[in-house]
Chain A
Amino acid sequence: MTGLSEKVDVIVVGGGGAAMAAAITAAERSARVLVLEAAPKDFRGGNTRHVRNIRYAHNAATDFVTGAYPVDEYYDDLLRVTQGNTDKELSRFLIERSEDAADWMTAHGVRFQPPLSGTIGLDRTNAFFKGGGKALLNAYYATAEKLGIECRYEAEVTDLVIEDGAFTAARVRHQGREHTVEARALVVAAGGFQADIDWLKEGWGEAAEGFLIRGTGYNKGRMLRVLMDRGAQTAAEADQCHAIAIDARSPKCDGGIATRVDCVIYSIMVNRKGQRFYDEGEDIWPKRYAIWGRLLARQEDQIAFGIVDAKANDLFMPSMYPPLKSDTIRGLAKALELDPGALEKTVAEYNAACRPGEFKPEVLDGLATEGLTPPKSNWARPVDTPPYYGYPLKPGITFTYLGVKVDKQARVQFTDAKGRTVPAANIFAAGEVMSGNILGQGYAGGVGMAIGLVFGRVAGEGAARLVSN
């Protein structure tokens, strides 16, 4: 079947983890569900295509996690990474509701892998999907098919009909035709706006031109814009997002995990001028990888270069793109199109500031520079063993945080004519499009999936309840 129903119970806009959790939950409560995914089938699933794990609260070790991760600890972690910039009540709700995440996913076809080498650092707090997010999506879509959910690809929702604060229909462009589909409830799970560079400029200015989009190129925030235009309240600022350092040679969109480069803590990071600009050894990499996207965004041309020598080059995950290489710092500078004199000076000053001591790659070893600004607080060894390697890095944006404000029922919050806050009667939001409620800033791996799953299920329940009443 390739047509489009004209009337259903619930429309879900989006096709990723949050959308499918909502669709499946609603369909299991007997609602007729239509999933409208803007991407073609091969690229379905938004950023869920690229994820690998979910951070969820649990009270004991299982086959997939090595120990307990109680609600309170999860909450403390979230407060720390966001620096309190979160809706505390919703965060608490998210974490409490995340406890049956793995069970729900397993029951809907998702398979996890046992904690293996690739899960080190997160193997207690996060469960890893076997095969990653695309395998998870395959399982969800297979479940959806069994439940009779109508899934349409290349189906772009262009506008919403909202009358007296209630949603009545969606305008859909599908296979070159315009449709109007009526429904009694709407779940917006259509992702952030990270693939819309012009919108990113509102938060970042011209620097946004230098951003690479790690995930799907289909998340352009159309639904977010429509809801904002209709008076939906927002959460988080336009420049807040999850962004990391990725290889500058990555494709503009959809490069995913393989483009990540983990050289930072064992390197010196220099900008276009060949100068250092931040403490590379501030903390262990999993705790710091999420700040480097923002740091790079503030450099000239949004680019920086990780410089390591032969003794450091094997300490981190191999990169997809080979590093540039030379037997001299001067030669490496030329290969990276940097001022050779400037880079030599930076390396010489850094090397002179290094102190003898024991280098321990796996822990905070306290091997710090002395009298250098900015300092390197750990793993500071001289860059003196050729060949030298250079990794060009750019900010890779994963997803934006600015989204619609929701309550614990995942209902979108609107401001009425009198300036009062009123929850939408039948409009729910889940996933990236409302992540700003939880993530005012900062990131911890696997939180995005938790937001999608928990609020997706809540939205699906709410939508189905409206239909059955």
Chain B
Amino acid sequence: MSRTEITELQGDQLADLHQEARRLMTICNACRYCEGYCGVFPAMMRQTAFSDRELDYLANLCHGCNGCYYACQYAPPHEFAVNVPQAFARLRADTYRRYTWPGFLSGLFQRNGTLVSVLMAGGIGLVLALIHLFQPPEVVMGEHAGNFYAVIPHNVMAWSFGGVFLYAVGVLLLGFLRFRRDTAPRAAETALSVAGATHDALTMKYMGGGGVRGRMDGCNYPAESFSQVRRWFHQMTFWGFLLCFAATSVGTIYHYLFGWQAPYGYTSLPVVLGTVGGIGLLIGPLGLISLKRVADPATQDGAQRGMDTGFLALLFLVSLTGLALLLWRDTGYMGTLLAIHLGTVLALFLTLPYGKFVHAVYRYAALLRNRREQRF
């Protein structure tokens, strides 16, 4: 199939996704029973017509809590066949493809499981090959009392991983700005909108399933009954990720600002942050993957499973190899463990802008607009 044909095919599918979302929002806007669940329906009620960009916004405001699906009098097999979580999941995946950079890499979202596996194997292989190439075996296999830099010099590690990380951040930022430009043109953020959206993101407010005075019922996931389980696993993943990021940042500050070199002691701030975060990143992703396995397929976009699972599995492996490295850093396995860990980290950074992680970026952009437009 030629490049043009592929583009046209995607164009058709895209029109269908928007058309279906528009059909649903027109029905929902005449019903409005679900206004108590989340931000999507109140946001919908502020509109009368639904342009493609409006639908992109609403789809990314949807957290997939499924409350509206199980409550829907029009859910299949009703002839109106209303299934908002599934239609929005498909449209969300599509925004990820459309707003990535460079455009020709957008196909990576569809082949994410493969991408993650290949990059991880490649990353580990590459780092292993490089250390064996540049270091004699007695250094790679030697005991260094936890001093990683004996195997890979600090500058090499910092520049290569820093570079890849900055690339990922750059692509994500570009996506955020372009999405925001399209879905919320000429809008200026206020301190209130930023604070509100950040609160909604950090607390996963819209995974709470709505409620009165903070008494959240939870979302209908993985099945019909209300549960907070997904929110908790997601919080562990989210905060685990942030804590690991904080550990690295503190390490960087120690190194460059105070000249304190790794390895840091077991009770030092970077190690404590990394360990606690690492445990979160073991439990959270594992929990989310297991929930996904039993989730009601009616509400899911099956095509995204590879992407979702790939990202979660990678987070889990990064954490597992990181903790293993910490445990055995005083032994002769350190060099090999370091290579494996860095290989997974490399894969994580490289796939960050082309996988499930991007949901955070567009979700936050949608939460910002939602807060700006909410009437208090």
Residues of A near any B CB (own CB < 8 A): 42-43, 49-50, 52, 63-64, 111-114, 116-118, 128, 130-135, 138, 142, 251, 254, 256-260, 314, 317-320
Contacts and interface: CB of A to CB of B under 8 A. Distances in A.
Contacts of B30: 257-260, 317-320
B210 A258 contact: no
Given A258-B27, A320-B26, A114 B212 contact: yes
Contacts of A138: 70-71, 224
A398 B145 CA distance: 78
B36 A116 contact: yes
Interface in B70-85: 70-75, 77-80
Contacts, number: 91
29 contacts: A42-B78, A49-B73, A50-B73, A63-B212, A112-B212, A113-B35, A113-B212, A117-B42, A118-B45, A130-B36, A130-B210, A130-B217, A131-B33, A131-B34, A132-B34, A134-B70, A134-B73, A135-B70, A138-B71, A142-B225, A254-B78, A256-B31, A257-B73, A260-B30, A318-B48, A320-B26, A320-B27, A320-B30, A320-B31
Contacts of A257: 30-31, 33, 73
A114 B33 CA distance: 12
B29 interface: yes
Given A134-B72, A138-B70, A257-B33, 18 more contacts: A52-B33, A63-B212, A113-B36, A113-B210, A116-B35, A117-B42, A118-B35, A128-B36, A130-B36, A130-B37, A131-B34, A131-B70, A133-B73, A135-B70, A254-B78, A254-B79, A314-B48, A319-B30
B68 interface: yes
Nearest to B224: A138
Interface in B18-38: 26-37
Contacts of A112: 212
A131 B31 contact: no
B86 to A, nearest CB: 16
Contacts of B78: 42-43, 254
Nearest to A139: B226
A286 to B, nearest CB: 15
Contacts of B322: none
A52 B73 CA distance: 11
A63 B213 contact: yes
A135 B31 contact: no
Nearest to B68: A131
Contacts of A42: 75, 77-78
Size category of the B interface is 20 to 34
Nearest to B25: A318
B206 to A, nearest CB: 14
A335 B107 CA distance: 46
Contacts of A118: 32-33, 35, 45
A132 B33 contact: yes
Contacts of B213: 63
Most A-side CB within 10 Å, residue of B28, B33, B36, B67 = B33
B67 A131 contact: yes
A259 B80 CA distance: 11
Given A256-B31, A320-B30, A132 B212 contact: no
Interface in B326-373: none
A356 B334 CA distance: 88
B24 to A, nearest CB: 11
A260 B27 CA distance: 11
Nearest to B82: A258
A49 B73 CA distance: 6
A52 B42 CA distance: 17
Given A111-B217, A114-B36, A320-B26, A256 B212 contact: no
B72 to A, nearest CB: 7
B23 to A, nearest CB: 10
Nearest to A129: B33
A118 B78 CA distance: 24
Contacts of A116: 35-36, 42
Contacts of B34: 131-132
A64 B71 contact: no
A258 B25 CA distance: 11
Contacts of A260: 30
A257 B74 CA distance: 10
Contacts of A256: 31, 73-74
A193 B346 CA distance: 67
Interface string B182-214: 000000000000000000000000000011110
Contacts of B210: 113, 130
Q: Would you list the 3 A-B pairs with minimal beta carbon distance, nearest first?
A: A131-B71, A113-B36, A132-B33
Interface in B243-278: none
A131 B37 contact: yes
Nearest to B215: A63
B6 to A, nearest CB: 34
A133 B73 CA distance: 8
Nearest to A251: B79
Contact of A258 (B67, B70, B74, B217): B74
Contacts of B32: 118, 317
A117 B212 CA distance: 15
Interface string B49-82: 0000000000000000001101111110111100
A238 B297 CA distance: 45
Contacts of B33: 52, 118, 131-132, 257
Contacts of B71: 130-132, 134-135, 138
A256 B74 CA distance: 8
Interface in B83-111: none
A178 to B, nearest CB: 27
Contacts of B79: 251, 254
A61 B212 CA distance: 14
A111 B216 CA distance: 10
A258 B45 contact: no
Contacts of B37: 130-131
A188 B279 CA distance: 56
A254 B77 CA distance: 12
Contacts of B80: 258
A135 B66 CA distance: 12
Contacts of B42: 116-117
Contacts of B67: 130-131, 135
